[in-house]
Structure 1
Amino acid sequence: MASSLCAPRAVAVKGSAGEAWANRVNPSPNAMQCRHRTTDFRLLRRQNREIGRSVVVKSMSSSQSQTDDLIKSKNEHNPVVIYSKSWCPYCSKVKGLFKKLGVKVVVVELDELVEEADVQAALKRMTGQSTVPNVFIGGKHVGGCDDTHRLHSQGKLIPMLQGAKAQMQG
């Protein structure tokens, strides 16, 4: 019975890119009952995911350039993006910093992606950093946990967030 709750369904998306999106696989209406929620990686750039919410990619091309383009697009369309692993204490620390600052961020939990290795390899090609967390502000790579905390202690993080038009509470 659990498998029927997780069964994907085909959805045709209307709009300028409707034909390209036709027959994409999206989660069933009961997907929230599943252990992981599936979605297309490209749709993530249209959604603001707050800290603690993660997504599993159901299907994405293994092409390096497509993966790179998806990551670049995600980083450009969101003020703050953190590529993380759910079990990583450094990731938790940097997510905690943004939460403490009241900043809404998009978190991509790599260990919950089907294409974890592809996305992490693309991030390494793009940034030279093979570790997580991998933090982007305003589409620019700022580094990992220590780099982000260093920027905050130097008083440079808040101006960067404001320049990226990140949503901040209080």
Structure 2
Amino acid sequence: MAKNFLKSKGHAWTEVRIDTNPVAREAMMAKARRTSVPQIFVGDVHVGGYDDMMALHRAGKLEPLLAGEGA
């Protein structure tokens, strides 16, 4: 759902497959302190999962973040 939402808004993303990359899994868990997927980052900012991303969107805070206007 996260990828479909970002695609519908014309945003690109980099997907990191933690199911096939144990090093990436450990790095994600260390940065996000969560084990569920997806964990969404905008640059170095941890957004959270899909529900967190949508809450930011509804609050009008996701688009500025995606535009590089800070956290």
TM-score interval, smaller chain? 0.7 to 0.9
Backbone CA RMSD of aligned residues:
1.5
Structure 1 residue 135 displacement after superposition: 0.7
Cα distance in 2 for residues equivalent to 1:119 and 1:106: 13
Structure 1 residue 101 displacement after superposition: 0.5
Which secondary structure state, in structure 2, belongs to the residue aligned with residue 141 of structure 1?
strand
Deviations 1:134-155 (A, max 9, x none): 1110221111111011111111
Cα distance in 2 for residues equivalent to 1:102 and 1:109: 22
Cα distance in 2 for residues equivalent to 1:126 and 1:138: 12
User: TM-score scaled by structure 1?
Assistant: 0.38
Instruction: Mark the runs of 5 or more structure 2 residues left unpaired by the alignment.
Output: none
- Taking the TM superposition and a 5 Å limit, the aligned residue runs for 1:49-128 are 93-111=1-19, 113=20, 116-128=21-33
Instruction: Flag as ranges the 4+ runs of structure 1 deviating above 4 A.
Output: none
User: TM-score scaled by structure 2?
Assistant: 0.83
Instruction: Mark the runs of 5 or more structure 1 residues left unpaired by the alignment.
Output: 1-92, 165-170
Cα distance in 1 for residues equivalent to 2:67 and 2:39: 19
| Greater radius of gyration (CA) | 1
> Is 1:144–2:49 an aligned residue pair?
yes
